[in-house]
Amino acid sequence: MRIEREWAMPNKATFSIKPIGRFIEEEIEGCEVIIDPFARNAKIATVTNDLNPECDSDYHLDALDFLNNFEDASVDGVLFDPPYSLRQLKECYDGVGCSLSQHQTQHFFSDLKDEISRVCRVGATVISFGWSSLGMGESRGFEKIRILMVPHGGIHHDTLCVSEVKI
What is the per-residue pLDDT across 37-74, written as a single tens digit (0 to 9) for each? 999 999 999 999 999 999 999 999 999 999 999 999 99
Q: Answer whether residue 101 shows pLDDT above 70.
A: no
Return all residues near 120 (Cβ < 8 A) that are at least 6 apart: 73, 75, 78, 126, 166
Residue 90 lies in a domain: yes
- Cβ atoms within 10 Å, residue 133: 13
pLDDT above 90 covers a percentage of the chain that reads: 71
Q: What is the DSSP letter of 85?
A: S
Residue 32 lies in a domain: yes
Residue 145 lies in a domain: no
Phi, psi of 19 (to 5 degrees): -65, -30
15-24, 73-82, 88-97: lowest mean pLDDT where? 88-97
pLDDT of residue 19: 96
Return all residues near 150 (Cβ < 8 A) that are at least 6 apart: 5, 6, 7, 8, 17, 19, 20, 158, 159, 160, 161
Query: Residue 40 is part of which domain span?
Result: 8-120
Residue 141 lies in a domain: no
Contact by Cβ (8 Å): 161, 20 = yes
At 121, which amino acid appears? R
Residue 82 lies in a domain: yes
pLDDT of residue 115: 98
Q: Answer whether residue 92 shows pLDDT above 70.
A: no
Q: Answer whether residue 107 shows pLDDT above 70.
A: yes
Residue 136 lies in a domain: no
pLDDT of residue 104: 65
pLDDT, average across residues 108-128 = 96
CA–CA separation, 62 vs 98, rounded Å? 10
Q: Answer positive or negative: Cα dihedral of 147, 148, 154, 155.
A: negative
CA–CA separation, 48 vs 26, rounded Å? 19
Residue 31 lies in a domain: yes
Global pTM value: 0.90
13-17, 76-80, 82-86: lowest mean pLDDT where? 82-86
Give the residue, 154 or 67, on which the prediction is more confident. Answer: 67
Q: Give the total number of structural domains in the chain.
A: 1
Q: pLDDT averaged over the chain?
A: 90
Residue 161 lies in a domain: no
> Beta 47-48 vs 34-36: how paired, if at all?
parallel
Name the 3-class secondary structure at 87: helix
pLDDT, average across residues 24-37 = 97
